[in-house]
Amino acid sequence: MLGVPVDAEMIERGAGLYAENCASCQGADLEGQPDWRRRLDTGRMPAPPHDETGHTWHHADQQIFDITKNGLASVVPGYESDMPVFDGTLSDAEITAILGYIKSTWPERERGFQAEVTAKDEGGT
C-alpha cells in the first residue's frame, strides 16, 4: 500500500490492528454492518464490508488511506459518517498495515482491479 511492499509480517500486524480498531464496526470478518446499503435512521450509512462483496476495492490506495486517516469528508466534502477519524490514533504505518491486511483477503480479480485503479490514480497507465 502506498509503495510499501506488503509481506506476511505486515499482514499479521494489520490483522491485529484491524481487530483492535476496526472490527467492532466493520465486522470481524470484514463483512460490514447489516443492510449496509440502506441509510440508518440518522441518515448516515452503515459501515460497508471490506471484503470482496463491498466496494473498498473500487478505490485507489491513496483514497482508502485518506478516508481511514482523515474521515470520509476528506474525499467527499460535507459527508457525515459514523466512522471515526484515525489521525492521532493510528500512525501512517499502522493504517498502511491494516489496509495491507484488508487487501490481502481479496480474491485475485478484486486485487487486480484495485491495482489498476491505484496505478491510474498515481498517474500510471
CA–CA dist 99, 30 (Å, integer): 12
Provide the whole-model pTM: 0.91
Q: pLDDT for 60-90, tens place per residue?
A: 999 999 999 999 988 889 888 999 999 999 9
pLDDT score at 5:
74
pLDDT score at 124:
58
Bridge partners (DSSP) listed for residue 90: 87
Q: Please provide residue 87's backbone torsions phi and psi, each rounded to the nearest 5 degrees.
A: -60, 125
The mean pLDDT of the chain is 92
Structural domains of the chain, with CATH: 8-121 (1.10.760.10)
Grid cell locating 73: 469528508
Angle at 19 between CA 16 and CA 23, to 5 degrees: 155
